[in-house]
Amino acid sequence: MSNFLIFVTGGIAAYKIPNLCRLLIKAGHNVKVGMTENATKFITPLTFESLTKNRVYIDDFLTDVEPDSIDHIDLIEWADKIIVAPCTANTISKIANGIGDNLVTSSMLVVKSKPVYIFPSMNTNMYENPFVQENIAKLRKLGYFVFEPDEGELACKTEGKGRLIEPEEIFNIVVEEKLKGVKFLVTLGPTKEGIDPVRFISNYSSGKMGYNIAKYIKDNGGEVFVVAGDVCLDLSPFSYVKIRSAEEMYNEVISRFSEYDILIMTAAVADYRVKNISDKKIKKNDETLLLELVKNKDILYEVSKVKNEKQVVVGFAAETDDLINNAMEKLNRKKLDMIVVNDVSRSDIGFGADENEVTIFLKNGENIRLSKQSKYLIAKHVVDVAYNILREKNE
């Protein structure tokens, strides 16, 4: 069950949206509707209010309804998926240019890493207008899913491209359940290797990449279990277990792996641990302190020994130099199906950031470069590629 936020803008096809609401609600989803002022001239908010049993959001500056809420922020926070349908040429162009002058466009400025589905609908000349086309291209480049309208008879009595695709089709696109029946094991976050009862060695992993992977899997009907290091993320949407050390992560992964179709290891697992963990807090008596470290088991390498030929294993490599050679060496040595490489020497991507830029390397030497985009969209690509490998293996 997902929270769908539908934004309706001022186009003739607004009349089709109650049907979309009905389909989503019937399938067990929650629906809230926001409208532009112009959309209310085509269809009344009361229709949506009655169908969704929720207040309809139009005026961002209302204070008397829920005084302690800021609608454009709270709505996006609430939503799992955001739909703009029908989306006028006007609203497309506003979103693509960062304009926030009403409830709908202000809300769209708040979206960071949630899937947005835009369904344009307009007269053919408007659709083919170079500004509109340029803005659609811009949105797609930024990771918005913008769908082609249908061809056919339009309200303006012309024939051509511009009809809003039918609600049933929109429903099938937004309620993707393509991962139904597929079981994913996802690791995320850092490990912590104890030094004494109060100190540890760790790394900067925030767990956000793995979190977005788990979320994308869940959004698309897959089953996911998360093995998480110590992260400040709300894992309650998933089944999960929290661990501290690399050894605990190893035990959790190895004991569960055989039950899963796909393992995605995004966790930043410590290579070494302290040989003798002090059971008392170490005093600062000496000028120097030497810690002897011993190698941890390499989880992916151990997994490769027990993996069957139908399972898919995805590794992540955080590299600071010689990315390609390091990644290919790991892919081969650990018998991975694919490896996702990111350059953690850059502060604008990778550890802790909300965006990432990665290259996916496949066993056959092929590589897929993903330009800088939200970690959710990176997650979508990574999971989709892993799922395709699983399908090929199980054909």
Site mask for ligand FMN (CB under 6 A), range 23-62, x = bound: -------------x-xx-----------------------
Question: In this structure, what are the phi and psi dihedrals at residue 312, rounded to the nearest 5 degrees?
Answer: -115, 135
Contact between 82 and 116 (Cβ < 8 Å): yes
Work out which of 84, 95, 108, 126 binds ligand FMN, going by CB under 6 A. Answer: 126
**Two structure tokens written together for 105:** 């466009």
Contact between 105 and 95 (Cβ < 8 Å): yes
- Total number of residues that touch ligand FMN (CB under 6 A): 15
Q: Does 88 bind ligand FMN (CB under 6 A)?
A: yes
- Farthest-apart Cα atoms in the chain, separation: 87
**Two structure tokens written together for 228:** 């998480």
Q: Which is nearer to ligand FMN, 86 or 190 (CB)?
A: 86
Q: Does 121 bind ligand FMN (CB under 6 A)?
A: yes
How far, in Å, CA of 177 to CA of 184, rounded?
Answer: 14
Q: Does 12 bind ligand FMN (CB under 6 A)?
A: yes
Q: Which is nearer to ligand FMN, 12 or 195 (CB)?
A: 12
Work out which of 7, 11, 262, 349 binds ligand FMN, going by CB under 6 A. Answer: 11
Q: Which is nearer to ligand FMN, 25 or 62 (CB)?
A: 62
Q: Does 135 bind ligand FMN (CB under 6 A)?
A: no
Work out which of 10, 190, 207, 315 binds ligand FMN, going by CB under 6 A. Answer: 10
Q: How far is CA 344 from CA 59, 143, 321, in A?
A: 43, 22, 9
Smallest gap, in angstroms, from Cβ of residue 59 to ligand FMN? 13
Q: Does 106 bind ligand FMN (CB under 6 A)?
A: no
Q: Does 179 bind ligand FMN (CB under 6 A)?
A: no
Work out which of 34, 60, 83, 91 binds ligand FMN, going by CB under 6 A. Answer: 91
Identify which of 362, 364, 365 has the alpha carbon closest to the alpha carbon of residue 385: 362
Q: Across-strand partners of 262? A: 184, 312
> Could you say which residues in the range 306-335 bind ligand FMN, by CB under 6 A?
none
Site mask for ligand FMN (CB under 6 A), range 191-230, x = bound: ----------------------------------------
Q: Which is nearer to ligand FMN, 12 or 327 (CB)?
A: 12
Q: State in Å, rounded, how far the first CA of the chain is from the last one.
A: 30
Identify which of 126, 124, 131, 170 has the alpha carbon closest to the alpha carbon of residue 147: 170
With contacts defined by CB under 6 A, name the span among 7-15, 26-34, 190-198, 271-279 that binds ligand FMN: 7-15
Active-site residue, selected from the candidate residues 21, 87, 156, 232: 156
**Two structure tokens written together for 349:** 């991507």
Q: Across-strand partners of 317? A: 341
Smallest gap, in angstroms, from Cβ of residue 170 to ligand FMN? 16
Q: Is 156 a catalytic residue?
A: yes
How far, in Å, CA of 305 to CA of 300, rounded?
Answer: 9
User: Which residues neighbour 107 within 8 Å (Cβ) at sequence distance 6 or greater?
Assistant: 5, 7, 34, 71, 72, 73, 75, 76, 82
Q: Does 90 bind ligand FMN (CB under 6 A)?
A: yes
Q: Which is nearer to ligand FMN, 91 or 296 (CB)?
A: 91
Smallest gap, in angstroms, from Cβ of residue 128 to ligand FMN? 12
Contact between 385 and 393 (Cβ < 8 Å): no
Task: Please spell the DSSP secondary structure of 22-58, one letter per residue.
Answer: HHHHHTT-EEEEEE-TGGGGTS-HHHHHHHHSSPPB-
With contacts defined by CB under 6 A, name the span among 77-85, 121-129, 245-253, 313-321 that binds ligand FMN: 121-129
Residue with tokens 């302290």: 274
200: part of which helix (H) or strand (E)?
strand 199-201
Smallest gap, in angstroms, from Cβ of residue 86 to ligand FMN? 6
Q: Does 89 bind ligand FMN (CB under 6 A)?
A: yes
Catalytic machinery residues: 156
Residues engaged in binding ligand FMN (CB under 6 A)? 9-13, 36, 38-39, 88-91, 121-122, 126
